[in-house]
Amino acid sequence: MKKPLLPDRHPNPDFFVCDVLDAVPKDDMASMEHPIFSLSTKPDTRILQYEHNGNRVEITPSVKGLATIHDKDVLIYCISQLIAKINRDEQPTRTVRLKAYDLLVSTNRETSGRGYELLKCAFERLRGTSITTDVLTNGERVVSGFGLIDAWEIRVKDPQTTRMVEIEVTLSKWMFNAILGKEVLTISRDYFRLRKPLERRVYEIARKHCGQQKEWSISLLNLQKKCGSKGDIREFRRMARDLAQHDHLPDYSVQFNDDKDTITFYNRETMPINSTETSDFPALNPDIYATAKIVAPGYDVYYLEKEWQGFWVESGKPELKSPDAAFIGFCKRRYEKRPNP
């Protein structure tokens, strides 16, 4: 039987890539919220559709299939490097130059010939997968389309081995704007050791919604919807039980409640806590962000949430009868005071 976690393939990384590995892994909030990536381990040529709070998302594959959750490693690596640049007061650009070996080591991938070939396939699927959004903003419905990345280029030093050396990846404007707005969250390096695609997706959802709270619960049906899993609910329930039994998810312990058919995530307190993201902060309903975007159109609602958290801390952490209503009220007042962000 396979172990639930992949081995740490690079426990002693080369000295020359230490500065790269120091870039803390970051994931973008939008793709953590919506099931954009395929969970299949085989070529997936389905057109995926997701609807939530009146907003629709359609993900269309190329002939080579949808980008997978493992392909997302490339984006996480690029996001991490750009955020590290921003934190060093350097100017980021949409085109990211990187070394293939550094990417493979940082994301716990094989550095064999097969590892390089799988990386090339990931670029092809990321470039070929397109996303169409249908979002209601300020009374108008806006339809837009974009790819996960705009372009990629590989430089091969030795044509005989076809081993790639340097890579250029041009991120989509959608992804780049999310990075500039720091709409990202720190994730565990052990994310890259999760073997099963579904477990990677569950971790993303736990990190996004449980965050630094002590615990967070969700019904099994809603979790399946957020995962984008189209399988039988009984199989999904078995996965939840296995996940709770092995208890190997990074940062969060998992408990499955058979009677209520719910799953609860408990914070292991392994993630760094910043000044405003505190474990005692009132939990928001995951659906409230869509409402916040309506009452404060044009604003980055995640940035508003951080401002609101800071305001709550500075006010002495008063008890809130309804954290959701308080947050929406904060967003409304901000928009009324300054309609143009």
Is 226 found in the same domain as 190? Answer: no
Among 180, 195, 210, the domain boundary falls at 195
d(CA 49, CA 68): 15
What value does the CA radius of gyration of the chain take, rounded to a whole number of Å? 20
Q: Specify the pLDDT at position 30.
A: 81
Examine residue 278 and state whether it is found in any structural domain, yes or no: no
What's phi and psi for 77, nearest 5 deg? -65, -45
Could you tell me the CATH number of the domain that includes residue 248?
Answer: 1.10.10.10
Q: Which two tokens stand for residue 52?
A: 């939530």
Do 288 and 327 form a contact (C-beta atoms < 8 A)? yes
Is 183 found in the same domain as 35? Answer: yes
Cα dihedral sign for 201, 206, 209, 211?
Answer: negative
Q: Give the containing element (helix H, strand E) for 59.
A: strand 55-60
Examine residue 137 and state whether it is found in any structural domain, yes or no: yes
- Which residue in this structure is represented by tokens 């390089």? 116
Dihedral Cα 98, 99, 103, 105, nearest 10 deg = -150
Among 163, 195, 227, the domain boundary falls at 195
Is 188 found in the same domain as 75? Answer: yes
Is 190 found in the same domain as 46? Answer: yes
Examine residue 84 and state whether it is found in any structural domain, yes or no: yes
Among 133, 162, 195, the domain boundary falls at 195
Q: Specify the pLDDT at position 161.
A: 57
Examine residue 273 and state whether it is found in any structural domain, yes or no: no
Q: Specify the pLDDT at position 271.
A: 61
d(CA 289, CA 292): 5
Examine residue 5 and state whether it is found in any structural domain, yes or no: no
- Which residue in this structure is represented by tokens 């550094």? 102
Amino acid at 336: E
Is 148 found in the same domain as 96? Answer: yes
Q: Please give the biggest Cα pair distance in the chain.
A: 67
Tell me which DSSP letter residue 62 carries.
B
Is 191 found in the same domain as 113? Answer: yes
What's phi and psi for 245, nearest 5 deg? -70, -45
Is 162 found in the same domain as 31? Answer: yes
Is 307 found in the same domain as 261? Answer: no
Is 36 found in the same domain as 159? Answer: yes
Provide the residue range defining the domain that includes 306. Answer: 288-337
For 161-203, the three-class secondary structure string (H helix, E strand, C coil) is CCEEEEEEEEECHHHHHHHHCCCEEECCHHHHHECCHHHHHHH
Q: Specify the pLDDT at position 66.
A: 96
Q: Specify the pLDDT at position 171.
A: 95
Is 259 found in the same domain as 124? Answer: no
Is 206 found in the same domain as 111? Answer: no
Q: Which residues of the chain have pLDDT under 70?
A: 1-3, 11-23, 52-54, 135-141, 157-163, 271-282, 313-316, 340-341
Examine residue 241 and state whether it is found in any structural domain, yes or no: yes
Q: Which two tokens stand for residue 280?
A: 């005692």
Say how many C-beta atoms besides its own lie within 10 A of residue 19's C-beta. Answer: 10
Strand order in the sheet with 252-257: 215-219, 262-267, 252-257
Q: Specify the pLDDT at position 160.
A: 62
Examine residue 248 and state whether it is found in any structural domain, yes or no: yes
Do 40 and 282 form a contact (C-beta atoms < 8 A)? no
Say how many C-beta atoms besides its own lie within 10 A of residue 64's C-beta. Answer: 15
How many independent structural domains does the chain possess? 3
Examine residue 281 and state whether it is found in any structural domain, yes or no: no
Is 158 found in the same domain as 45? Answer: yes
